[in-house]
Amino acid sequence: MSGAEPVEPRPVGIDELLERVRADYRRIEAQEAYDATQAGEALLVDIRYAALRERDGVIPGALVIERNELEWRLDPQGSHKTPEATGHDLRVVVICNEGYASSLAAASLHQLGLHRATDLVGGFQAWKAAGLPVTP
């Protein structure tokens, strides 16, 4: 036994954590996300909870998976995967309300091997502000 005490990692705040996870991938803007889905190159995944979807509407064609089910539904190897979870090369664009929770969700998808996962800068509110399609 060496007698050395293990060094506890320094706690990080949420702002630093977001900065760290966002450094590992390129986030996209609303218009780019729209264009990618129109071209069939990306899957939009709305992780907002029901009350926000009811209040603000939904993005036509987006797959709704609430945050607490995301990894189970998008893991291509999982027993509870959605049919859209076709493989680890799937380009997923995660959308939350304002673009914060989606960054953490995209990082989690990266840990599952979904290396093309990203999130929408500004979230649903940015999509709506850009005048992109929303269904009440």
Tell me the pLDDT tens digit for each residue of 81-94: 999 999 999 999 99
In whole angstroms, what is the distance from residue 16 CA to residue 3 CA? 32
Alpha helix segments (H runs only) across 1-136: 14-22, 30-38, 50-56, 70-74, 101-111, 123-129
Q: How many residues does the chain have?
A: 136
pTM of the model: 0.92
Neighbours of 84 (CB within 10 A): 14
Task: Answer whether residue 36 shows pLDDT above 70.
Answer: yes
C-alpha torsion sign, points 101, 103, 109, 114: positive
